[in-house]
Structure 1
Amino acid sequence: MREEATLNRFYNDYLRFNILHLANPVCLNPQGCAELEANQILFANGEILNIADIALLGLNQTKLVVLSACQTAMTRESDGRELPAIAYLFERAGADAVIASLWSAEDKKALLIMTQFYENVNEGMTKAEALRQAKLTFVQQGLHPFSWSPLILIGDGSYL
């Protein structure tokens, strides 16, 4: 978390967990993003992971990768292929599923959605149902879809 979310720490620890939750900025825009070049994930210490290296990670025990930060999926110039591409890289590395955002997610809303998602999973819901129910919580509160709908599940929606 925070300053401890270094690239070195990621490499040392990622095989120990079946869920990887990265709230790191990710840039998939071919023209680059504010602080990143195209196809990069930023870690707390300023180090960069090129998304092409994801396919080499060996995530065979990973049930879910969550990319909950802004810019984890698509940009204004997007043609929609970026999201399946990064999900494919994590799946190619062995992960069963990926949750990513279709547009810049507000950090506090993404945190609330993901907290509810994990609570739902702990109650025995599938990944797909847990995310659906987490979003429905916001629908029932009357919040605009822009704030709760960017996170989507790609891949295996079954139980963790």
Structure 2
Amino acid sequence: MNVRLATTIAAVLAVVAFGYAAWAGVSWYGNAHGDTAGYAGQRDEALMAGQVGINNFLTLDYRKVDEDLNRWLSSSTGELRSEIDKDRESRKKQLVDAKTITTSKVLGAAVTELDDRSGKAKVIAVVESTVTPEGGEAVRKVNRYVTELTRTEDGWKLSQLGPLRAGGV
């Protein structure tokens, strides 16, 4: 191979390598500092808040009802929070009378909708719960839930929570 051809090939490869490096750098910077990163961050925050909120609502101990109800209130907003606050005493009586301890664990969850501009999100989750009545055998069950979240000054909070019916969200 002659020197002139080798020099030309080396120059072309250098230009291609420089072009690729420039493109990769600009792409990385755009992804790290653009709307995509902010949207992904909001999605991750909503998912985490949804998982924690669902777990808070589905973990109950009749011996510490006030603590559990306070956890419900701190995880909720809007009508859901108002409903809990309004019916607090009757809920407390129901939970104490039931004499059960329920421990729950979110097995998996996903954000199915996110509108970061309006501060609304929807999360679905699969939850394993173990219900132990006083003096009885523990019963394990797995259920699916859907929750709507609203972004507040204090972060994402549950605004609705219910079972996920067969057929989707």
TM-score > 0.5, shorter chain as reference: no
Q: Which has the higher strand share?
A: 2
TM-score (norm 1): 0.25
TM-score (norm 2): 0.25
Q: Which has the larger radius of gyration?
A: 2
Q: Which has the higher helix share?
A: 2
